[in-house]
Amino acid sequence: MAKTLQVDLVAVEEKVWSGEAEMLVARTTEGELGVLPGHAPLLGQLAEPGQVRVKLPGGGELAYDVAGGFLSVTGEGVTVLAESATPVTSGH
């Protein structure tokens, strides 16, 4: 079984999404960052405007436009603390 990552995406007003993921991709002020299970702990500032993409087990993907906030990677997983997070709807 592939290893997964616990992801919590939280905006100021609410928990937006929480679950298992294969990978999280976010744009920080340092550049685009991909987080896989076992990633070294870090704290990054989200770029504005930014987008967070969550690759789900089985091949699905969620995407959120985020404004402001931080990304925290720990041994337990990834927490994204954004001022706002809006689901991206595909235009297809």
Whether residue 10 lies inside any domain: the answer is yes
Whether residue 92 lies inside any domain: the answer is no
Whether residue 50 lies inside any domain: the answer is yes
Number of domains in the chain: 1
Digit-by-digit pLDDT tens for the chain (92 residues) are 569 999 999 999 899 999 999 999 999 999 999 999 999 999 999 999 999 999 999 999 999 999 999 999 999 999 999 999 999 986 55
Supply the range of the domain harboring residue 12.
5-87
Whether residue 13 lies inside any domain: the answer is yes
Q: Which strand (E) or helix (H) includes residue 53?
A: strand 50-55
Whole-number pLDDT of residue 13: 84
Whole-number pLDDT of residue 1: 53
Q: What is the CATH number of the domain that holds 63?
A: 2.60.15.10
| Beta carbons within 8 Å of 90's beta carbon, 6+ residues apart | none
Whole-number pLDDT of residue 2: 66
pTM (predicted TM-score): 0.90
Amino acid identity of residue 8, one-letter, is: D
